[in-house]
Structure 1
Amino acid sequence: MLRIRGQIGEWPVDLTLELGDEDWARLAAQLPRKAAVVEPSSAPELSGEGLWRTVQELLRNAGQMEGPDLLAELQALTGSAAASKRLLVRLRHCPQVQLENGADAPLYRWVG
């Protein structure tokens, strides 16, 4: 189930969509993939420095990623929005990462 809440102009919107497994699969097939997803099972360790090394490797392999795409990858990796945001902040201050202002979103570039 997917719930969309917000506004269109002055009109409030509260919409609930129910999708079956086939619908989710078709929707996922339409999404662009900019970088390979690191599956939690392939990560050497999902906490501490092992997680940090995995995050660095993810960005290094991609070369560069826009902030929202990187956040989505980190959320898939950690399973937590809060942990993902903390990792983005850590990447911002990492000497191997250059942060640039993109047209729509920040661009994280590995300069390692």
Structure 2
Amino acid sequence: MLRIKGTIGDWPVDLTVEMDDADWARLAQNLPAAAVAPVAPVPAASGPADQLWLAAQDLLRRSGSTEGPQLLGELEALAGSAGAAKGLLVRLRHSPKVKIEVREGVQVFNWVEE
């Protein structure tokens, strides 16, 4: 179930939409890849997106530490598009294996093993 509350202009909106698993799957297919976050970690690379995620983690792991703008450029080269690179950067930002520091106003991504 999805509930939408707010206003359209001066009109109040309170809408409830019931969706089954098939509806959610169709919705997810139409969203950009960066907008669809996985619900649980994937244990092994089972598709191109999983392999790309593993490659992005490996990229940061091998460098140990990379400034955000440089990492974004490297991820774009790896992923083939700016949108996919931004999605990977967001996933790295929220990964428990990554610590972010700010040095002189620049985010620095650090790989930390847990």
TM-score class, shorter: 0.5 to 0.7
> Which residue number in structure 1 is paired with residue 88 of structure 2?
87
> Which residue number in structure 2 is paired with residue 67 of structure 1?
68
Q: Counterparts of 1:46 and 1:85 in 2: how far apart (Å)?
A: 19
With normalisation by structure 2, the TM-score equals 0.56
Aligned residue runs from structure 1 range 14-53, under 5 A: 47-53=48-54
Q: Counterparts of 1:45 and 1:61 in 2: how far apart (Å)?
A: 22
Q: Which moved more, 1:88-97 or 1:101-110?
A: 101-110
Q: Counterparts of 1:99 and 1:47 in 2: how far apart (Å)?
A: 27
Query: What is the aligned-residue RMSD (CA, Å)?
Result: 1.9
Q: Counterparts of 1:85 and 1:92 in 2: how far apart (Å)?
A: 10
Structure 1: stretches of 5+ with no match in the other structure? 1-43
Pairs aligned (count): 69
- Quickly say closer, same or farther: Cα 1:49–1:84, change in 2 above 3 A: same
Q: Counterparts of 1:47 and 1:101 in 2: how far apart (Å)?
A: 32
1:99 counterpart SS class: strand
Instruction: Name the % identity.
Output: 48
> Which residue number in structure 2 is paired with residue 107 of structure 1?
108
Q: CA deviation at 1:49?
A: 1.1
Q: Which has the larger radius of gyration?
A: 2
Structure 2: stretches of 5+ with no match in the other structure? 1-44
- Cα deviation digits, residues 57-82 of structure 1 (max 9, x gap): 10000000000000000011111001
With normalisation by structure 1, the TM-score equals 0.57
